[in-house]
Amino acid sequence: MQSQGKIVVASQHYPPDPSTTAAIMAEIACRIAGDHEVVVLSGSPGALPASQTGPGKPRVVALKNRIAGKTALVRRGASELLFAARIFFALIRELRRGDVVLTVTAPFMLPYAVVAAARLKGARSALIMHDLFPDVLVMAGLLKPGAIVTRLMRAANSLMFRTLNAVITIGRDAERPLLSYSGMTPNKIRFIPNWATLTPAPRPITSDNPFRKAISARFIVGLSGNLGFTHDPEIMFEAARLLRGEPDIHFLLSGWGIGFERLKQLQAEARLANVSFVARVEDAELEAFLASANLWIIPYRKDVAGVSVPSRFYNLLAVGRPVVLVSEPEAEAALTVVENELGWVVPPGSVERLAEAIRAASRADNGDMAARAVKAAARFDRTNAMNDYAALIEELLRNPDLSEQR
């Protein structure tokens, strides 16, 4: 029997969108729909997969939405502002007192619209903190720390965090920057990490892997997924340049985003023989692609701690591969790497240290590290995460003020 109170999920990205955020939000919405009425306000039009439809599934309302390219910053900002406005008015129509609305941090105006609508309608609100704005924009060099826009966004955040009933972090490192806002209290914060979408199990390196066939090198270093403003593509490319005289090491790159466009530009100029690109890998081929490399790199810019967590990290562990993470040691993924001895953590901007880590990995027997990676991935379990989300929703339905609990 379903409890009273409806759950509304507001997300620009939702199936049929193929992004990681879309998959995460669909998993959460479908899990909660087993216990409550769930309505999804989506910015991704199109036919839903069969697994997302039918009895016991969320009711999905696709709102009109146009997403500009990430390099078209003005058009993108305008389209995201318009989408946030559409979400606001849709929530005003949909929400009732006592309902719970769940949203994410991208686009950055979305949480403000959600919190405002929830406050007006007497509903409870929860935010999944994938990226912390304006910190992400400052980190990427798009805003200065003391700029008027930065100060205005921080002031708006203080009001938002004061009004929010719960904030879900996917990294332990997010708590410190969150608590720097006057409106945030520790009792509102719930740590629910993301999970591996691939089944954790050792995948051996095989010569018949379709992504290895054209590469003669013994040791392949992989880079995969979206490279946005928080990533540093150039450190990876410069490491490849330093290692170009070592024929046993080859770099295999596949992904999208502004960082990959930069990588392609650099390769067009340098034409390094030890670097190869493959087209964006679809989900059906993801396991084979991740299993093709001996080592994976996740390259972040400076000051990533508390700002962003790489969701791809868990799938790299699931296939049993060590990683080299370019980030501060206090970042969530770096903590996991060090605590479980899963690879190497390299300071941002240290090209020579990155090249040294890759060289060390290529000469080591990484069998024990691979086994530890699979074991660690098993702890980041979808079922555990879904149960944690369901438990939080029940908390909010019973008592909107989490600060009175614990």
- Domains delineated in the chain: 7-195+381-404 (3.40.50.2000), 219-379 (3.40.50.2000)
Q: Which run of H or of E encompasses 191?
A: strand 189-191
User: Residue 233 and residue 243: Cα distance in Å, rounded?
Assistant: 16
Could you tell me how far CA 223 lies from the centroid of its own chain? 16
Q: Is 21 left (phi over 0), alpha (psi -120 to 50) or beta?
A: alpha
| pLDDT tens series, the chain, 406 aa | 444 789 999 999 999 998 888 989 999 999 999 999 999 999 998 989 888 888 889 999 999 887 655 555 567 778 889 999 999 999 999 999 999 999 999 888 999 999 999 999 999 999 999 888 888 888 878 889 899 999 999 999 999 999 999 999 999 999 999 999 987 999 999 999 999 889 999 999 998 999 999 899 999 999 998 888 889 999 999 999 999 999 999 999 999 888 999 999 999 999 999 999 999 898 889 999 999 999 999 999 988 888 777 778 999 999 999 999 999 999 999 999 999 999 999 999 999 999 999 999 999 998 899 999 999 999 998 999 999 999 999 999 987 666 444 4
Q: Which residues are CB-neighbours of 275 under 8 A, at least 6 positions away?
A: 237, 240, 250, 251, 253, 267
**Helix, strand, coil share (%) of the chain residues, nearest 5:** 45, 15, 40
Interaxial angle between packed helices 110-121 and 148-163, expressed in degrees from 0 to 180 and rounded to the nearest 10: 40
Q: Which run of H or of E encompasses 254?
A: strand 249-256
| Residue 379: HSE in the Cβ half-sphere, 13 Å Cα cutoff | 7
Residue with tokens 């969108």: 17
DSSP 41-109: EES--SPPPGGG-STTS-EEEEPP-----TT-HHHHHHHHHHHHHHHHHHHHHH--TT-EEEEES-STT
| Per-residue tokens: 5 | 């109170």
